Chain A
Amino acid sequence: MFDTSLTLRDLMFLAEGAGVTILVTAISVVIGTLLGILFGVIRTQLGPVLSAPLTFVLDIFRSVPLLIQLVLGNAFVGMVLQIQISGFTVACMVLSLYTSAYCAEIVRGGIEAVPETTRRAARSLGMTWGQDMRYIVMPLATRVALPSWIGLALGVMKDSALVYVVQVTELLKSTQILITRLQEPLFLLLICGAFYFIISFPLARFGGYLERRWSND
Chain B
Amino acid sequence: MIDIQNVRKSFGDLEVLKGIDLTVERGEVVTVIGGSGSGKSTLLTCINGLEPINGGKITIDGTEVHARSTDLNKLRTKVGIVFQQFNAFPHLTVMENVTLAPRKVLGMGRAEAEAIAEKQLRHVGLADKLSTYPSRLSGGQQQRMAIARALAMSPGYMLFDEVTSALDPQLVGEVLETLKMLAEEGMTMILVTHEMSFARDVSDRVAFFHKGVMAEIGAPDQLFGAPRHPETQAFLSKVR
Contact = CB atoms under 8 A, between A and B. Distances in A.
Contacts, number: 64
Contact of A127 (B50, B80, B101, B133): B101
B104 interface: yes
A143 B83 contact: no
B38 to A, nearest CB: 20
Size class of the B contact interface (CB-based, 8 Å): 20 to 34
B112 to A, nearest CB: 17
A126 B153 contact: yes
Interface in B43-66: 48, 50
B105 A125 contact: yes
Interface in A86-143: 115, 117-118, 120-128, 131, 135-136, 139-140, 143
B73 interface: yes
Given A120-B87, A139-B91, A126 B77 contact: yes
A65 B101 CA distance: 47
B149 interface: yes
Contacts of B133: 216-217
A118 B91 contact: no
B90 interface: yes
A117 B91 contact: no
B50 A125 contact: no
A125 B87 contact: no
B50 A120 contact: yes
Contact of A140 (B85, B90, B101): B90
B146 A143 contact: no
Interface in B134-190: 135, 146, 149-150, 153
B119 interface: no
A202 B206 CA distance: 62
Interface string A144-171: 0000000000000000000000000000
A125 B146 CA distance: 11
Contacts of A136: 89
B89 A131 contact: no
Given A120-B83, A140-B90, A140-B91, A126 B105 contact: yes
Given A117-B83, A131-B105, A125 B135 contact: no
29 contacts: A117-B85, A117-B87, A118-B87, A122-B89, A122-B101, A123-B50, A123-B76, A124-B48, A124-B81, A124-B150, A125-B76, A125-B80, A126-B73, A126-B76, A126-B77, A126-B105, A126-B106, A127-B73, A127-B101, A127-B104, A131-B105, A135-B89, A136-B89, A140-B89, A140-B90, A214-B91, A216-B133, A217-B91, A217-B133
